[in-house]
Amino acid sequence: MSQMLKKSGSLGLATLSSRILGLVREQVYAHFMGDGPVASAFKLAFQVPNLFRRLLGEGALTAAFIPIFKHKERAEGEAAMWQAANATLSGLVIVTAALVGLGVIVISLALAATQVHWIRGGQTVFPPLPFPLFSDNTVLMLRLLRLMFPYLVLVCLAALCMGMLNARGYFIIPALGATMLNVVMIASVWFLAPQFGSTLDTQVFALGVGVLIAGFAQFAFQVPALWKEGYRYRWVAPWPNETVRVVVRKMIPGIIGVAAFQLNVLLIMLVSNWVDKHIVASFDYAVRLMEFPQGIVGISLATYLLPTLSGLAADKKYPEFRATLRQGLSYMAFINLLASVLLVVLAEPIVRLLFQGGKFDAASTHRTATALACLAPGLVAFSGVNLLARAFYALGDTQTPMRVSLFCLALNLFVSLWVVGPFRQAGLGAANTLTSALNVWLLSRGLRRKLKTLDLGEFRTRSISLLGATVAAGGVAWGLQRLWAIKAGHATLPLRLGEVFVPALAAGLVYWGLALWLRVPEAKEVIHLLGKRRPPPAGPGLN
């Protein structure tokens, strides 16, 4: 576990810097455009290239590519490994460039359709498509989407480079690449937006230009490390290459699962935007806040675990495989349980501290906090899905996570569309939390059948103990926040800081103290890592 904590902890620190800048970016966005129709149009448009990025970049491609990349290195040497990388990268360039060209054409035709009308005798007989799908807000979204669509080429290339670096033992540099992305996107608001006009619906296009520049910066940031490792790009025809065929074959189930997820999100957001122009933006701000601890702990561990578990699976070291996965789940649950309860209890103070100001008013704070309080209970489940899916990928099984994902996504779509009308953001958050919990349960059952056993008895016992500590910490945070609100309020920045950090620190001390009293090994391991000393022996039944 110490090795895992060091590796994923270092990665977590790098991710922390990126996530902090990501929060600053969302804070700048919130002050700049609030959570109104323009913000929703921008966030909807940005989701589409992100859909393809997750289809071809961070999700299915890297999950399929890294185990093959590692196998090539061990079985055939570095020359074959780099050739496989070049063939995969060449194929990725062709596919993403074709998608960008097709996407821009389709969007341009859709925009042209909004201008179609007939004139007869000086009168407009057939006005420009007056139904909601082509409202002014939708036209703005389509124009932003056309501008940002090329981002998917750059970000997919960056994701493949990240996968190669992870497989070579580099975790911090790829994680810091997202820092460059956030820096550029923040700068686009401060320096580019004033050059694009005086109204929000014109200035928002500066954010789209910033997205393109940021995608290039994230890709370029990783090139020097790959060069140092000996990588040199050479064109390799992807069609006859065996590695590309294997990667594509293994990607297809993952693509179906990720596509279902992203199309699910996109459809829900389109319907939500039709129900209320504030839902898309306010829910997205809540998701970004929830992803802060998820990225630091859950994504960092998942990034570390995929190449590690892939190596253990390749060597058929299944007891070590189970132990590594179990330790990853334990560490994730220990950190995320505390983060989850704090996000629920302190949702409104956190949103008020980070976002309220400029065009983001008190009503915006309430909408976003409501969504966050309903999303945060699923934090452990969201991270657990990432870890368990990586275990399947390391074993060469992309079918099972796909089937589970499709079932849960169908259920999530049904529930979300059912509750978004009456419950708005809260309904979407609750639907995501419930279906993610079901996803974890189904994945764990599938993995247990595949490995015969997961040996999770001690993990379950430990988690039950931690739930008690979580409830106690949440009660302390809630009581102190209510007392602070009554006695001090939140009229100034220092008071807002105190309203969040005083209850959070007290709750953290209570949680950590109870965990040490219960002799939870993860609490001792983290203290050992921070203090660089050996932890005392754990109590009976908890090692």
Residues of the chain with pLDDT > 90, as a percent, come to: 26
**Per-residue confidence (pLDDT) for residue 131, from 0 to 100:** 43
Comparing 42-51, 54-63, 442-451, which segment has the lowest mean pLDDT?
Answer: 54-63
If pLDDT is split at 50, 70 and 90, which confidence band does 160 have? Answer: confident
Position 225 scores a pLDDT of 87
- Contact call for residues 446 and 400 (beta carbons, < 8 A): yes
What pTM does this model have?
0.76
Q: What is the pLDDT of residues 268-311, one digit of tens each?
A: 877 787 788 888 889 889 988 887 777 666 566 666 666 777 77
Per-residue pLDDT for 109 more than 90?
Answer: no
pLDDT at 96: 87
Least reliable range by pLDDT among 174-178, 238-242, 267-271, 301-305: 301-305
| CB contact at 8 A, 511 and 473 | yes
Helices (H), 488-537: 493-517, 521-531
**Above 80 in pLDDT, residue 21?**
yes
d(CA 26, CA 364) in angstroms, rounded, equals: 14
Q: pLDDT category, 115, cuts 50, 70, 90?
A: low
For residue 100, pLDDT over 80 is answered with yes
Q: How confident is the model at residue 159 (pLDDT cuts 50, 70, 90)?
A: confident
pLDDT at 345: 95
> In the prediction, which pLDDT does 348 show?
95
For 532, which DSSP code?
A: T
**How does pLDDT run across 48-63, given as a tens digit for each residue?**
777 766 665 555 677 7
pLDDT top residue among 1 and 228: 228
Calpha distance 72→75 (Å, rounded): 5
| CA–CA distances in Å: residue 501 to residues 347, 467, 494, 508 | 12, 22, 10, 10
* Interatomic CA distance for residues 531 and 388, integer angstroms: 30
Average pLDDT, the chain: 81
Q: Which residue has the higher pLDDT, 66 or 97?
A: 97
Q: At 5, is the pLDDT very low, low, confident or very high (cuts 50, 70, 90)?
A: very low
Q: Is 80 exceeded by the pLDDT of residue 351? A: yes
- Average pLDDT on 83-91 reads 87
Give the C-alpha separation, 314 to 306, whole Å: 12
